[in-house]
Amino acid sequence: MAKKKLKKKKARASEEEEDSENLESTHPTPSLFSQLGERVISQASIILLDIAKDKLAEYLQNRKSRHEDS
């Protein structure tokens, strides 16, 4: 009886090791294109945020000048 339990535990352990190896192989390190894409997206985000900041400052300045004129 004890031998059967020991065999089952060993089988489960080896299955878990195989599963963890499979998970590691399905998620390789990011490729060069993936890294390049992330950089492009980051730069685009920075540019868009800068444009939005400028537009917001321009809008608030116009709103302030209109409020002072009335």
- pLDDT of res. 64: 93
The pLDDT value recorded for residue 16 is: 64
Q: Where along the chain do its domains lie?
A: 2-69
pLDDT of residue 9: 61
pLDDT of residue 50: 98
Integer CA distances (angstroms), 21 to 2, 3, 7, in order: 29, 27, 21
pLDDT at position 70 is: 73
- In the chain, the N- to C-terminal Cα span, in Å, equals 93
- Kindly calculate the radius of gyration of the chain based on its CA atoms and give it in whole angstroms: 29
Q: Tell me the per-residue pLDDT of 2-56, one tens digit each, with 9 for 90 and over.
A: 556 656 666 666 666 665 555 555 666 789 999 999 999 999 999 999 999 999 9
